[in-house]
Amino acid sequence: MSFPNVRLRRLRKSGKIRELLEEVRLSPKDLICPIFVQEDLKSKIQGSSMPGMERLSLGDVVSEVNSIADLKIPAVMVFGIPSHKDEHGTSAFIQNGIVQKTIAEIRKNLGNDIVIMSDVCLCQYTSSGHCGLVRGDKIDNDSSLETLAKVAVSQAQAGVDVVSPSAMMDGQVKAIRQGLDDAGFTDVAIMSHSAKHRSSLYSPFKDMAHSAPQFGDRKTYQLPYTNPKEAMREVETDIQEGVDIVMIKPALAYLDLISMTKSKFNVPIAAYSVSGEYALVKAAAMAGYIDEKEVTLEILTAIKRAGADMIVTYFSKGAAKTLAER
């Protein structure tokens, strides 16, 4: 029996044929754009560790979010940089905190034209720089839960759509869900940083958000990158506690975990392409070694191909512009 010659190149011979056969299609609708808003800042300033990213003043927020919405990006994630830090993380949950004012300003001016997400953590707000409250010589898990729930409720009161706990405290989803429900915010969703790994790729973010720990490290509460089974247990625990969306973080070096999560669980999956991934691409592009636009789309498509339903990325605006051009 004879067979015709198989030539898969026939399916690649023109741009339109290649477009017709695309198996994974990246869209601006897949993206979530982070924004950094700094309290008492007069006007926006460039972040030296993350070229192209800015720390915004409150007065810059509406213009910036409008530009994001105009690119058909459906969501922003708000990170706050307060002017005051203390051992209790007070600035994270006060009514006139920088994140709370930012959420209210976006909601007032854009209504429901964009999804507002917000980080729920304490590292930017505590004098220790840790994601939970310090008691003695350790990060105290249980006392941190009450504070994280207060942060989430304060953000819900300001008008947030989705709270995104990133502290990696055991039980944080359950505590936040209970706090939101008790306060009447049953419609506010939780997107947990379920499998957040202890990674050196966060370093530019720590500089940008002024959130580096002042002592020790985060190994006792963030996941080791050596333990994929443990990562799946973290994801499963968040699902059991009532999470709405799980997240794998970082993204690019953890594509296997995104794929494993997609295979094991029927739940929406976010992936966070973190600051170090962004900075590495930016550095290589600035040195002339790579085409930033091409590499950005390749990376984000790979993350989606692995199983992510949505991607938090500092490349959001640039990627959306490139996709619009094409």
Residue 108 is among the residues annotated as catalytic for this protein: no
Tell me the C-alpha distance between 114 and 73, whole Å.
8
User: Could you write out the three-class secondary structure of 234-298?
Assistant: HHHHHHHCCCCEEEEECCHHHHHHHHHHHHHCCCCEEEEECHHHHHHHHHHHHCCCCCHHHHHHH
User: What would the two tokens of residue 303 be?
Assistant: 């993350």
- 75-81 and 245-249 strand pairing: unpaired
Tell me the C-alpha distance between 90 and 114, whole Å.
28
Give the residue from 255, 267, 191, 259 showing the smallest Cα distance to 225: 255
Tell me the C-alpha distance between 214 and 319, whole Å.
35
Q: Which of 174, 196, 282, 304 is catalytic?
A: 196
DSSP state at residue 80: E
Tell me the C-alpha distance between 3 and 241, whole Å.
55
Give the residue from 170, 249, 269, 134 showing the smallest Cα distance to 202: 249
Burial of 153-192, coded b for 16+ CB within 10 Å and e otherwise, reads bbbbbbbbbbbbbbbbbbbbbbbbbebbeebebeebbbbb
Q: Which of 174, 249, 304, 317 is catalytic?
A: 249
Strand partners, 60: none
The reply to whether 33 sits in an annotated binding site is no
Residue 196 is among the residues annotated as catalytic for this protein: yes
Q: Omega into 213 within 30° of 0, i.e. cis?
A: no
40 torsion bin: left (phi>0), alpha (psi -120 to 50), beta (else): left
Binding positions for Zn(2+): 121, 123, 131
Binding positions: 121, 123, 131, 234
**Residue numbers annotated as active site:** 196, 249
Binding positions for Mg(2+): 234
